[in-house]
Structure formats: C-alpha cells, structure tokens
C-alpha cells in the first residue's frame, strides 16, 4: 500500500487556496452542537412551563382506559333501586334490551332482589334492599347497607374499595358495580356495539344477519305495507340508538360544506389572483391591495371564521361554507398569484405579437401554463377541507362535527363517537385517493 504525503509547499498552497476549509469560524465548528444544546434547554423549559410530567403523572388514566374500552365495547347500565322492600331495575335512555326481556346475566330472585353475574357464577352480585353479597372468585364479601352508607366488609380485596358513602366493586373488563344507600348501579360490559343494526323496537332485533337476509328475500311480509327489504332499510336508518340516517345525513352535509366552500373559493380566487400578480396587472396599488386582502382572509383561522358566522347566521351548513370560502379564498389567491408571477413570458409574447387583446393574451398565453397548478391546489384544499369541515362543525357550523360533539358531551356514547370517527376516516381515505388520482392526471403524472 502506498501512502500519500504532502510537502510543506503543497500544504501552504492548499492553506492559501482553501482558507475556509482549514480556518473555520466558531459557528462552523461548534454551531451544530450549540443549536442542539439550545433546543434541549428550550424543550426543558417547555416541559417545566407546561407542567408536562406532572400532567402525565396526575392524569386520570383509569377513566381514559374506560373511554377507550367504550370504543370497541358497550355497557349495559341498569340501576337496581331499593324501593318498598324490593329491588326495581331502571335502564338508561339507550335501552339495549326491550321491555320485559329475559336477560341471562340479570335475573330476578324469589325474595324481590336480583342476581348479576359477571362472566361466570363465581363473580356475581346478590342484590337485596338490605345488603349486597359480592362474590369474587367464588368467595363471599357481604356489603351492609345502612341509611347513611354502604359499608365495605373487613378483609375485602383490592377489587373492592370504599368511596365516601358507596362501595365500588371492579370485575375487570366485565364491568363494575357501585353499591349505594338507595341503589346498586351496575355496569356490565360486552364486546361489540349493541343494537348497531336494529333497535329493540324493530321486528329484526335479536336476529342474526343470516336470518335478516333470509327475511329480506322472503315473500312473507312482516309489515303488509312494505317489503321486508324496505322495512329493514327503514329500521336501520331510523335506529333510535344509533341514528344512522341522521349521522349519514350530517356526513353528507359535511362533504357538501367542503366541496361548495372550496369551489366558491377557487372561483373567487382565480380572477383576484390576476389582479394580485405584478407581471399581469401593472398597477402596484391594485397588486398590494389584493395581496393584503389575501393576507387578511387567510390570517384568520377557519375555526374563528366559523365562530363568527355561526354567531351571525346561527348554526347550520351556511356558516361552515362561508368559513371555508373566506379562508381558502385568501390561501388559494396567494398560491395562484405566485404561480402567475412565475409563468414563462415567451408564450404571452407570442400571443401578444399577433395583435391579440389583453384578455385573449391571458387566456391563451397564461392560463394553459397555470391551470394544472390551479386545479391541483384546489383539489388538495378540497381534500383538506373534508377534514376541516368536521372540526368547524363542532362549533355549530353543522355537519357531522356537531353530531360528534353532542355524543362526546353525553360522556356515555363513546361507541357512537368511534362509529362517527370511523366513518370520517373512511371518507377522508376515499377522498384522499380520489384527489391524488385527479391531481396526478391534471399534472400529467401516472398514479402508482
């Protein structure tokens, strides 16, 4: 192997020819390390200022876990009230069972009480007005009920705890129970979404999908006024628990808001961009004024515009369309104007050389160059606004966003929230692919 040697003359010549390589400044030598140190200090200050670590430590993770479970499961929540020496079951408004239904995990007893089983007979409650017998793993833990409080029994396991005047019993995923002086509030959890297709009032309730499909093609009608297929569709859309028809209607409203708002913004931004472009309109005042208008419209967030128009016109899709229109007119106008200012002047000069008027010059010398960019940007904004319309809907601008917020406020319809989020994800995925395909065609590129 040969070694490369540099004599003194060559070394001096290299030092004189490339001084910036051999004599670097302080920032060139230590700039990266200094920047990394500044970023670390900044992050440490942010963590301290926003109390990130205490927030995570003190977070109610148990409640968060319950909310996550509610996304993929459902809770039956009867209140077993102690009235007139017996126990009366009362249900929440969603009513997962029809009136008088025989429920295998909630059985009345001969002494006027109820037996609630959690997965197996080894984990259950024996509820009476005077006491509640809790069985965990087959072992009995009697909870005495006095006029003032429910009393945790001695030697109770960690799954049972005293919370002020009530006793809380946890059965893991299967659910829990809150034993109080006047009632036992039972929560029984099951995988899946209860009554997703048909509510308890439907003649299709409790039937398997195979049975429902067979009835839809059967000549024997459940309702003499309409076919079974029509009845099934009507019962599905008007499901009292899930409100499919209303949710799908609100979803379509959101899509219309995004499309109409983006369309109007594109149509208004198109001519204004020609005024804002300095190489098209040779009037500095007009250029400056139009660009400042774009800055004003896009500097105010879409959510703020939605709040403003909701207060002005009331809740509904019109404030949402107006919010998208105002924000996107400013954003698209700026993008369009920058594209116009970067066109190739040779085409304009060619059209102008044949004596064409200014409108024709722009039509054939400028528009063909920028139209693919304009369409591509409008399609991208349309795709983005499909998501944004959901957010602005939550402040009263209509659409599925408002429906989503209503379900969140109940604090008990998280399965319905998951349903709407899933619908939004599917729609965004579909429109994202449609937009990408159209943009690729407009820009002359093949999709892969």
How far apart, in whole angstroms, are the C-alpha atoms of residue 82 and residue 438?
Answer: 64
Q: Which of 258, 298, 288, 247 is nearest to 404 (CA)?
A: 247
Considering only residues 351 and 341, tell me which one the structure prediction assigns the higher pLDDT: 341
pLDDT at 23: 66
**Residue 445: pLDDT band by 50, 70, 90 thresholds?**
low
pLDDT at 447 over 60: no
pLDDT at 411 over 80: no
pLDDT at 264 over 90: yes
CB atoms within 10 A of CB 225: 7
Mean pLDDT computed over 216-242? 86
Domain 244-442 has CATH 1.10.3720.10: yes
Q: Which residues face 129 on adjacent strands?
A: none
Mean pLDDT computed over 204-233? 85
Please name the residues in contact with 115: beta carbons below 8 A apart, sequence gap of 6 or more: 106, 107, 109, 124, 125, 126, 127
pLDDT at 432 over 50: yes
Assess contact for 322 and 260: CB atoms under 8 A: no
Among the residue ranges 66-70, 196-200, 249-253, the one predicted with the least confidence is 66-70
**Residue 267: pLDDT band by 50, 70, 90 thresholds?**
very high
| C-alpha pair distances (Å), 431 with each of 176, 382, 422 | 42, 9, 14
Assess contact for 148 and 165: CB atoms under 8 A: yes
How far apart, in whole angstroms, are the C-alpha atoms of residue 121 and residue 428?
Answer: 46
pLDDT at 63 over 60: yes
pLDDT at 5: 67
Q: Where along the chain do its domains lie?
A: 20-59, 76-191, 244-442
Assign 3-class secondary structure to 87-135. Answer: EEEECCCCCCCCCCCCECCEEECCCCCEEEEECEEEEEEEECCCEEEEE
pLDDT at 38 over 60: yes
pLDDT at 86 over 60: yes
Could you say which DSSP state residue 177 is in? E
pLDDT at 3: 53
The CA-based dihedral angle spanning residues 271, 274, 275, 277, taken in that order and rounded to the nearest 10 degrees? 150
């Amino acid at each position: 192997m040969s070694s490369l040697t540099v004599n003194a003359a060559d070394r001096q010549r290299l030092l004189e020819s490339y001084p910036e390589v051999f004599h670097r400044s302080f920032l060139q030598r230590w700039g990266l390390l200094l920047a990394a140190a500044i970023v670390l200090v900044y992050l440490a200050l942010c963590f301290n200022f926003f109390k990130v670590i205490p927030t995570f430590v003190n977070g109610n993770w148990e409640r968060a876990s319950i909310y996550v479970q509610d996304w993929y499961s459902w809770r039956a929540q009867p209140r077993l009230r102690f009235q007139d020496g017996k126990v009366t079951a009362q249900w929440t408004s969603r009513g997962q069972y029809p009136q008088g239904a025989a429920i295998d995990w909630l059985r009345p007893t001969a002494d006027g009480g109820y037996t609630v089983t959690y997965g197996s007979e080894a984990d259950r409650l024996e509820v009476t007005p005077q006491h509640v017998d809790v069985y965990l793993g087959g072992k009995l833990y009697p909870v005495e009920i006095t006029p003032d409080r429910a009393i945790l029994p001695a030697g109770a396991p960690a799954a049972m705890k005293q919370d002020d005047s009530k006793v809380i019993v946890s059965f893991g995923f299967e659910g829990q129970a809150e034993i109080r002086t006047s009632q036992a509030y039972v929560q029984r959890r099951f995988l899946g979404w209860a009554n997703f297709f048909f509510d308890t009032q439907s003649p299709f309730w409790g039937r398997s999908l195979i049975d429902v499909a067979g009835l839809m093609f059967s000549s024997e009608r459940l309702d003499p006024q309409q076919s079974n297929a029509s009845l099934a569709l009507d019962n599905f859309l008007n499901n009292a628990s899930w409100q499919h028809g209303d949710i799908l209607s609100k979803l379509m409203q959101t899509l219309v808001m995004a499309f109409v708002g983006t369309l109007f913004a594109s149509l208004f931004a198109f001519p204004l961009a020609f005024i804002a472009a300095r190489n098209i309109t040779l009037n500095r005042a007009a250029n400056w004024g139009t660009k400042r208008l774009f800055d004003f419209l896009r500097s105010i967030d879409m959510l703020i515009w939605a709040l403003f128009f909701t207060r002005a016109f009331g809740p509904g899709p019109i404030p949402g369309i107006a919010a998208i229109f105002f924000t996107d007119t400013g954003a698209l106008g700026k993008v369009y104007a920058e594209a116009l200012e970067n066109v190739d002047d040779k085409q304009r000069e060619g059209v102008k050389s044949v004596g064409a008027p200014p409108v024709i010059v722009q039509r054939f010398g400028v528009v063909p160059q920028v139209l693919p960019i304009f369409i591509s940007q409008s399609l991208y904004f349309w795709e983005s606004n499909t998501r944004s319309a959901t957010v602005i809907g939550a402040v009263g601008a209509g659409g599925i966003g408002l429906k989503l917020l209503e379900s969140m406020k109940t604090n008990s319809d998280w399965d319905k929230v998951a349903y709407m989020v899933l619908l939004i994800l599917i729609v965004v995925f579909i429109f994202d692919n449609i937009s990408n395909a159209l943009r690729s065609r407009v820009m002359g590129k093949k999709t892969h």
